[in-house]
Structure 1
Amino acid sequence: MCAIADTGSVRKAARQLGMTQPSLTTQLHRIEKALGGQLFFREPTGSRPTPLGHSVLCRARPIVAEMRALIDEVASAAHHERGARLHIGSTNSPAVAGWLRRLRVRLPETDTTIRADVSANALLHMVATGQLDAAFVHEVEGAPLRIPDGLTERELVVREPQFIALADSHPAAASSVVRVADLADDQWMVDPTVDGEWAGLRRVWGAAGIAPRVVHGDYLTAVDLVTAGEVVTPCQPTARSRHGMAIRPLYGDPLAVRLFMACRQDGTPAASADDLFADLTASYMEIAWASEAYRAWLVRHDGLLSVGI
């Protein structure tokens, strides 16, 4: 109930809680049946509490806070009994594998786990509520994330340019840099579940004066469609190219993200934030210079990469 009220949407609340929308809807209906009344108005713009919902929320929020405190206490006790545990999260990034590898070397006695999610906002919420110790996320330029209170940020890259993936047979692939306007007649595949992605791309298209056809889907599916010449899609500069695919920077770098690591201000139980960030920085630098397309971009920009500032 609190998640639905805070996000204003059952869909967003389900993502934040790490569950499916139908499951959350079913739970909400059970609660409403048990309490004997409707708790939210369902509207085209989202969900808002009914008068009964407001009343129940006033009682629910202290219960949720107490429950979180209880979970933290139990987890702390279990930590001392079982040994150290480290839970990290990340939006999809090739740097994560190297980050995990370095953490396992640094903390051989620690049980280190990873949670991947397309939603940076969901991961930040999990850090704030103690479900994760730290999260490595990206923030699309012009679409700020909701940073919960009590978190501290370590900025990894101030402005990472986003590249474009297209078939190697595409006429634009013959150029070292691609203009957005040259892709006006292409279908673009966009994952609307990635926080800020849709807003960022619409801003870029508007600035270029184009209105391309759009296909919604996940970026793993996009790989096959790109190599088949069906779509073009934005990608990270560190993305690995596949057979039949070309990865190129966009002229003027109109689409960019900010990369940062977030953790709670009281730190993490298994490792210092400094150590976590140092391993993350080393992992990112490793893949940045290993990527052919990104390396060429860095050389053209005299190695300009504001890391760890």
Structure 2
Amino acid sequence: MLRSVELEVRHLRAVCAIADAGSVRRAARELGMTQPSLTTQLRRIEKALGGQLFFRGATGSRPTPLGHSVLCRARPIVAEMRALIDEIASASVRERGVRLRIGSTNSRAVAGWLRRLRVRLPDTDTTIRTDVSANALLHMVAMGQLDVAFVHEVEGAPLRVPDGLAEHELIAREPQFIALSDAHPAAARDVVHLGDLADDQWMVDPSVDGEWAGLRRIWTAAGINPRVVHGDYLTTVDLVTAGEVVTPCQPTARSRPGMAVRPLHGDPLAVRLFMAVRPEGALAAPADALFADLTASYMEIAWSSETYREWLMRQEGPLPLPVPAAAP
């Protein structure tokens, strides 16, 4: 009987995840499943209910009228189950000690942040969850599955920030650079124009929230329409160094042999970096203290990155000059 209830709740959770993520592929990643497995599960659910729950298209999945009806009933059940699980987990944590659950999109600042937090909170069980989806991480903070999240928001593609979350803005506009082969003609320049890359093939990760929309916006503004291949940014180094693709990257990205990291002329592509918390959530340390450690870690990475440091020195901001770090 208990197993049957667990199975039904798992099915409801899958339906909610697809609706929230907007596609089966993204939902599968958030649930820790493969896309084929979730697709098979969805078909079983639809067969049991006797109707289609989602319209599937090139832009993703959206609920059918039956899907909306099921979601209205499923969401409260899933929320209550999550609350029960969190309550049980909280009781267990109180018995074992304090914990801090951090979420983050990909950033080199995370390692230094964790190092500082472990110095500040030596008796706290600090864990990290990384995800390419900032929206998924923000949702987890709102639902109490994470205590804090450090995310980026692509300019022109606002995130779906749940109501009630408090934002601590680290940097309003971080420029995104370009990674290309050091044999590329544009790599000889200190700053690369988008027009210099019009004939190149771009590697884009469409699973990163807002990335695809942000790139289309700057390509349109520059009057170019480059060839695009979809892939994972974490595995593109070999293709970049071989001269097969160019790809956007963070200004703190570490250059590799055969690869050059350059700013784009006019900084057309940028992101906003911020930390999100639930104001009413019980944190292992004040949010301002967590944010101070994050800021110190980001400053350390930013000023140690040669290309980004040179860019920063040419600007009147957005970061102050580095100062010796103080112990928490």
TM-score between the two structures when normalised by the length of structure 1: 0.92
SS in 1 for 2:236: helix
Where structure 2 has 5 or more consecutive residues not aligned to the other structure, the ranges are: 1-14, 322-328
Is 1:68 paired with 2:82? yes
Which residue is equivalent to 2:8?
none
| Matching residue of 2:159 | 145
Equivalent position to 1:182, from 163, 176, 196: 196
Q: Deviations over 1:47-80 (max 9, x none)?
A: 4445544443333222112112212211221121
Higher relative contact order structure (alpha carbons within 8 Å, sequence separation ≥ 6): 1
**Contact persistence 2:155–2:214 (CA under 8 A):** yes
CA positional deviation for 1:189: 1.0
Distance in 1 (alpha carbons) for counterparts of 2:163 and 2:31:
18
| 1:304–1:150 distance in 2 versus 1, CA, 3 Å | closer
What is the distance in 1 between the residues matched to 2:264 and 2:49?
A: 56
1: CA distance, partners of 2:90 / 2:300: 34
Select which of 100, 115, 118 maps to 2:132.
Answer: 118
1:72-87 matches, within 5 Å, as 72-87=86-101
Amino acid at match of 1:37: G
Q: Which amino acid aligns with 1:222?
A: T
Contact 1:188 1:212 in 2 (8 A): yes
Compared CA separation, residues 286 and 26, structure 1 to 2 (3 A):
same
More moved, 107-116 vs 283-292: 107-116
* Structure 1 pair 128–18 and aligned structure 2 pair: CA distance change class (3 A): farther
One-letter amino acid of the structure 2 residue matched with residue 238 of structure 1: T
Q: Deviations over 1:177-235 (max 9, x none)?
A: 11111111111111111111111111111111111111211112211111111111111
Question: 53-62 vs 104-113, which deviates more?
Answer: 53-62
Which residue is equivalent to 2:237? Answer: 223
| Aligned CA distance change for structure 1 residues 192 and 47 (closer, same or farther; 3 Å) | closer
Counterparts in 2 of 1:231 and 1:87: CA distance versus 1, 3 Å: same
Q: For residues 65 and 246 of structure 2, what CA distance do their matches in structure 1 show?
A: 48
Query: 1:8 and 1:167 mapped to 2: Cα distance?
Result: 35
Instruction: State whether structure 2 residue 107 is matched by structure 1 residue 93.
Output: yes
Q: How many residues align?
A: 306
Letter in 1 for 2:142: A
SS in 2 for 1:240: coil
Cross-structure match for 2:213:
199
Give CA-to-partner distance per residue, 1:98-133, whole Å, 9 cap, x none. 001101111111111111111111111111111111
Q: 2:50 aligns with which of 37, 46, 58?
A: 37
Is 2:187–2:260's contact at 8 Å kept on the other side of the alignment?
yes
Distance across 1 between alignment mates of 2:63 and 2:231: 32
| 1:128 has 2:142 as partner | yes
5+ residue gaps, structure 1: none
Structure-2 change in CA distance of 1:266 and 1:223 (3 Å): same
Structure 1 runs, 4 residues or longer, greater than 6 Å off: none
**CA-CA distance at 1:17 after TM superposition:** 3.4
- The structure-2 alpha-carbon separation of the partners of 1:209 and 1:49, relative to structure 1 and needing over 3 Å to count, comes to closer
% identity of equivalent residues: 80
Distance 1:239 1:47, change over 3 A: closer
CA contact (8 A) 1:157 1:306 kept: no
- The answer to whether the aligner puts 1:297 opposite 2:311 as a matched pair is yes
CA distance in 2, matches of 1:286, 1:204: 29
CA gap of 1:131–1:23, structure 2 versus 1, over 3 A, is farther
- Aligned 8 A contact 2:55 2:63 in 1: no
Are 2:299 and 1:288 aligned? no
Change (3 A) 1:78 1:211: same
CA deviations 1:126-183 (Å, max 9, x no partner) are 1111111111110000001111122111100000001111111211111111111111
Do the aligned residues in 1 keep the contact of 2:26 with 2:207 (CA within 8 Å)?
Answer: no
Confirm whether residue 209 of structure 1 aligns to residue 223 of structure 2: yes
Task: Specify the SS of the correspondent of 1:286.
Answer: helix
Moved more, 193-202 or 39-48: 39-48
Preserved contact between residue 15 and residue 122 of structure 1 (Cα < 8 Å): no
What's the counterpart of residue 3 of structure 1?
17
Partner of 1:23: 37
The aligned counterpart of 1:257 is 271
Equivalent AA in structure 2 for residue 178 of structure 1: V
